[in-house]
């Protein structure tokens, strides 16, 4: 709960990406009131954290991520719709347990592949509650999505950007564009599994060409996994006791990613457009991010069919850029 005025503070649901990365990482590595000191594995207080003024829910999603589990392989989600429906059921159960939050403004907040999860949940809420009375509805006001993986076709279009910042030459730019066109063709044929495999081949070729191990920051060539050093603390007996998770395995993508492989390259742009027409949506990006670039998100928004598209496309950018502290 929010430290300040939790009775009135907005309620946020945080959805991490991957797919298959635990929301527990987000608590300690990004948004929570404490971070893990890697020198002594002790918790230290953050100066700036979200739960000071927001009520926040962190869910290990999809099933099989983090401490969430299923004892049957059929329990793993295979479609984005299933994920949206599971999250919807979880939220309805949350409101049964904590009815005092039903009146609070509700926002879905997500990062990376979590952008798909947020769109799926928003879409399911909108569809399921069309004929509900107002007092029965989830009080969804909007979404906030950071570097969201929503429309794969716009995400993979990065050859121009890589060329313009000098990471690839003309020859490899042409090779990369050939890969991109192949993947686009497979997506348009609804052959998402083959598109995912081809995307993996393209990424390996790209990493070989530029000598990078990650695309999250083009100033940092070596792969950096920000959550890895926190596993020791998260899986310790003391932390498990505090989280009431017993001896349940702590998982990252082991079965979650493969189970979703038929839909990872599926675009949720049609659902995104529906949400644009009804809810406030904040999109934000890392300026140095090549994985899901600023350009890809702007292309998604400008090519979307929604009621405010004309005003958005004609709007002038003022006062420089927005930044996050």
Q: In this structure, what CATH number is given to the domain that contains residue 39?
A: 3.40.50.1820
Residues 51 and 107 in one domain: yes
Q: What's the pLDDT score for residue 315?
A: 83
Domain final position from 210, 245, 277? 210
Residues 36 and 72 in one domain: yes
Q: What's the pLDDT score for residue 226?
A: 57
Q: What's the pLDDT score for residue 322?
A: 62
Domain that holds residue 183: 159-210
Residue whose tokens read 């598109």: 195
| Structural domains in the chain (count) | 2
14 strand-pairing partners: 58, 109
Residues 192 and 97 in one domain: no
Residues 137 and 254 in one domain: yes
Residues 306 and 224 in one domain: yes
Look up residue 211 and give its two tokens.
């000598």
Domain presence at residue 321: no
pTM, full prediction? 0.91
pLDDT in tens, the chain (325 residues): 999 999 999 999 999 988 988 888 888 888 888 888 888 888 889 999 999 999 999 999 999 998 899 888 898 999 999 999 999 999 999 999 999 999 999 999 999 999 999 999 999 999 998 888 888 899 999 999 999 999 999 999 999 999 998 999 999 999 999 999 999 999 999 999 999 999 999 999 999 998 887 888 788 777 666 555 788 888 889 889 988 888 888 877 678 999 999 999 999 999 999 999 999 999 998 888 888 988 999 999 999 999 988 888 888 877 666 665 5
Q: How far is the C-alpha of 57 from the C-alpha of 32, rounded, in Å? A: 11
Residues 201 and 141 in one domain: no
Burial of 249 (C-beta count, 10 Å sphere; 0-12/13-18/19+): exposed
Domain presence at residue 80: yes
Q: What's the pLDDT score for residue 253?
A: 67
Q: How far is CA 80 from CA 265, 272, 325, in A?
A: 11, 13, 32
Residues 73 and 113 in one domain: yes
Residues 52 and 192 in one domain: no
Domain presence at residue 131: yes
Q: What's the pLDDT score for residue 18?
A: 86
Three-state secondary structure readout of the chain: CCCCCCCCCCEEEEECCCCCCCHHHHHHHHHCCEEEECCCCEEEECCCCHHHCCEEEECCCCCCCECCCCCCHHHCCCCHHHHHHHHHHHHHHHHHHCHHHCCCCEEEEEECCHHHHHHHHHHHHHHHCCCCCHHHCCCEEEEEEECCCCCHHHHCCCHHHHHHCCCCCHHHHHHHHHHHHHHHHHHHCCCHHHHHHHHHHHHHHHHHHHCCCCCCCCCCCCCCCCCHHHHHHHCCHHHHHHHCCCCCCCECCCCHHHHCCCCCCCCCHHHHHHHHCCCEEEEECCCCCCCCCHHHHHHHHHHCCCCCHHHHHHCCCCCCCCCCC
Domain presence at residue 3: no
Q: How far is the C-alpha of 60 from the C-alpha of 251, rounded, in Å? A: 10
Residues 252 and 121 in one domain: yes
Q: What's the pLDDT score for residue 62?
A: 93
Domain presence at residue 323: no
42 strand-pairing partners: 37
Domain presence at residue 5: no
Q: How far is the C-alpha of 86 from the C-alpha of 117, rounded, in Å? A: 10
Q: What's the pLDDT score for residue 224?
A: 64
Residues 74 and 89 in one domain: yes
Domain presence at residue 257: yes
Give Rg (Cα) of the chain. 20
Q: What's the pLDDT score for residue 42?
A: 85
Residues 26 and 78 in one domain: yes
Residue whose tokens read 């920000």: 226
Residues 72 and 204 in one domain: no
Q: What's the pLDDT score for residue 145?
A: 96
Domain presence at residue 198: yes
């Amino acid at each position: 709960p929010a430290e300040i005025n939790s009775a009135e503070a907005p309620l946020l649901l945080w959805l991490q990406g991957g797919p298959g990365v635990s929301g527990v990482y987000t608590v300690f590595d990004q948004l929570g009131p404490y971070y893990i000191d890697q020198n002594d594995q002790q918790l230290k207080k953050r100066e700036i954290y979200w739960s000071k003024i927001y009520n926040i829910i962190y869910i290990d999603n999809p099933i099989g991520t983090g401490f969430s589990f299923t004892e049957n392989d059929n329990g793993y989600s295979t479609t984005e719709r299933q994920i949206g429906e599971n999250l919807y059921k979880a939220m309805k159960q949350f409101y049964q347990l904590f009815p005092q939050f039903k009146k609070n403004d509700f926002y879905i907040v997500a990062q990376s592949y979590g952008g798909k999860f947020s769109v799926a949940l928003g879409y399911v809420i909108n569809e399921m509650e069309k004929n509900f009375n107002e007092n029965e509805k989830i009080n969804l006001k909007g979404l906030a999505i950071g570097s969201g993986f929503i429309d794969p076709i716009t995400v993979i279009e990065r050859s121009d950007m890589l060329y313009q910042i000098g990471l690839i030459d003309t020859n490899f730019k042409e090779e990369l564009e050939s890969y991109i066109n192949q993947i686009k063709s497979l997506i348009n044929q609804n052959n998402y599994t083959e598109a995912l495999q081809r995307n993996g081949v393209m990424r390996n070729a790209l990493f070989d060409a530029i000598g990078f191990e990650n695309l999250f920051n083009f100033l940092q060539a070596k792969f950096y996994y920000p959550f890895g050093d926190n596993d020791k603390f998260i899986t310790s007996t003391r932390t498990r006791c505090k989280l009431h998770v017993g001896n349940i395995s702590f998982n990252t993508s082991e079965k979650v990613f493969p189970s979703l492989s038929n839909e990872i390259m599926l675009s949720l742009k049609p659902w995104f457009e529906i949400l644009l027409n009804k809810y406030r949506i904040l999109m934000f990006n890392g300026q140095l991010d090549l994985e899901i670039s600023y350009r890809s998100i702007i292309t998604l928004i400008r090519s979307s069919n929604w009621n405010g598209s004309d005003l958005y496309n004609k709007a002038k950018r003022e006062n420089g850029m927005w930044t996050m502290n």
